[in-house]
Amino acid sequence: MRVGIGGPVGSGKTALTEKLCKAMRDDYSVAVVTNDIYTREDADALIRMQALSSDRVVGVETGGCPHTAIREDASLNLRAIADLNARIPNLDIVFIESGGDNLAATFSPDLADVTIYVISVCQGEEIPRKGGPGIARSDLLVINKTDLAPYVGVDLDVMNGDAGRMRGSRPFVFADMKRGEGVGEIVRFLKQTGGL
């Protein structure tokens, strides 16, 4: 199963990827492909956090707009996944973390079987109602950094109502990756959705 994790810069994509790897690596064969414009920063961070061993983490340098590498021309990511599959047979899950982008980023269906879109309460309580494909059409929306809501003047009830209206029957989760809140719910979603 290939899981695309997208969202704006600073929303908590790498923290989510770390928590998911640590929560699932004992039961499943897991690998990660990260996307950064000019560095391997997120891949290196995941290795430092000991989310997975370094042979299971590949950093892709997109050299331009991050959304191009996950949507219009996913060849860099597809090659990285093929390389991982060749080196590590029988992978169960590959997390593909997009570089930070805007609210219009989406994953090509050729690249991701399941998509998770991450936003942060720090971006403002109006973010869910602004919409965009990630918010409205991802398989799961994660509203992260809930612990910071009182400090940035965000009403989580407003975000809850707006997310519900924008997503219809599609699920969303409030989370705090720093404390691991919401991780269990996200793992259950992935197991159910991916048939794991």
Query: Residue 61 — pLDDT band, cuts 50, 70, 90?
Result: confident
Beta carbons of 58 and 35 less than 8 angstroms apart: no
Supply the mean pLDDT for the chain. Answer: 93
Report pLDDT for 196: 78
Classify residue 194 as exposed, middle or buried by CB count within 10 Å of its CB (0-12, 13-18, 19+): middle
Would you state the structure tokens that stand for residue 91, as one six-digit string? 């992978």
Query: Residue 69 — pLDDT band, cuts 50, 70, 90?
Result: confident
Q: What average pLDDT score do residues 65-74 get?
A: 80
Q: Would you say residue 195 has pLDDT above 90?
A: no
Quote the percentage of the chain above a pLDDT of 70: 100
Beta carbons of 178 and 171 less than 8 angstroms apart: no
Q: Report d(CA 174, CA 79) in Å as an integer.
A: 33
Would you state the structure tokens that stand for residue 36, as one six-digit string? 């950064």
Task: Give residue-wise pLDDT tens across range 90-148.
Answer: 999 999 998 877 777 788 889 899 999 999 999 999 999 998 899 999 999 999 999 99
Q: What average pLDDT score do residues 21-49 get?
A: 92
Q: Report d(CA 123, CA 47) in Å as an integer.
A: 27
- Give helix 183-194 / helix 13-24 axis angle, nearest 10°: 70
Report pLDDT for 48: 94
For residue 176, list its beta bridge partners: 181
Query: Residue 81 — pLDDT band, cuts 50, 70, 90?
Result: very high
The torsion angle over the Cα atoms of residues 87, 88, 90 and 94, rounded to 10 degrees, is -110
Q: Report d(CA 90, CA 33) in Å as an integer.
A: 16
Report pLDDT for 68: 82
Would you state the structure tokens that stand for residue 152, as one six-digit string? 């940035």
Residue numbers belonging to the annotated binding site for GTP: 7-14
Would you state the structure tokens that stand for residue 185, as one six-digit string? 């719910």
Q: Report d(CA 110, CA 47) in Å as an integer.
A: 27
Beta carbons of 77 and 96 less than 8 angstroms apart: yes
Q: Report d(CA 71, CA 69) in Å as an integer.
A: 6
Report pLDDT for 191: 97
Would you state the structure tokens that stand for residue 95, as one six-digit string? 């997390």
Q: Which fold has domain 2-194?
A: Rossmann fold (3.40.50)
Residue numbers belonging to the annotated binding site: 7-14
Q: Report the phi/psi class of residue 120: left, alpha or beta, with left for phi > 0 and alpha for psi in -120 to 50.
A: beta
